[in-house]
Amino acid sequence: MKTIFDKETRDGLISRINLLDENSKPEWGKMNVYQMLKHCTLSEEMYLGIKIYKRAFIGRLFGKVALKGMLKDDSPLRRNTPTVPQCKATETNGDVAAQKKQWIELVEEYGKTTKTDFEHTFFGKMTREQMGQLAYKHVDHHLRQFSN
């Protein structure tokens, strides 16, 4: 299964991110390209431990089962998969180029981190392998959303 910790995989994702611009339109969902970029930036900050959020109660009940289902195979994430509230982009307009640059910098950070344990607000404690797979699937999901 693909992981964001693999340089070749990361480089492929970054190439796809670079195809996005202010005219990119979603194939599904409610977010515009700026909101998607902001959402992904907020998500990477959580995944990398730059921002820490309190564990969601519902995640304590269902998080591990949901994670297992998401990572069972190479299939992409389902369309319109719910997001954690802390990673929702509330502003509708912003600097697309700057947000894209920030997201790419965070994706590149996976190649530098030696971290082995991760914490997700819904899924809870995750191994490096699990986080690498989830982070890849999340980025891929949103790039597919915008035809990249």
pLDDT of residue 12: 98
Structure tokens at 119: 């914490």
- What is the pLDDT confidence band of residue 148, given thresholds at 50, 70 and 90? confident
**% of the chain beyond a pLDDT of 90:** 80
Answer yes or no: are the C-beta atoms of 66 and 125 closer than 8 Å.
Answer: no
Closest among 86, 90, 88 to 53, alpha carbons compared: 86
pLDDT exceeds cutoff 80 at 37: yes
The DSSP bridge partners found for residue 53 are none
pLDDT exceeds cutoff 90 at 58: no
- What is the pLDDT confidence band of residue 82, given thresholds at 50, 70 and 90? confident
Residues 84-137: pLDDT tens digits? Answer: 889 999 898 999 999 999 999 999 999 999 988 898 999 999 999 999 999 999
Residues 6+ apart with CB under 8 A from 84: 46, 53, 56, 121, 122
**H or E segment and range at residue 55:** none
What domains appear along the chain, each with residue ranges and CATH number? 7-145 (1.20.120)
Q: Work out the average pLDDT over 40-64.
A: 89
pLDDT of residue 56: 83
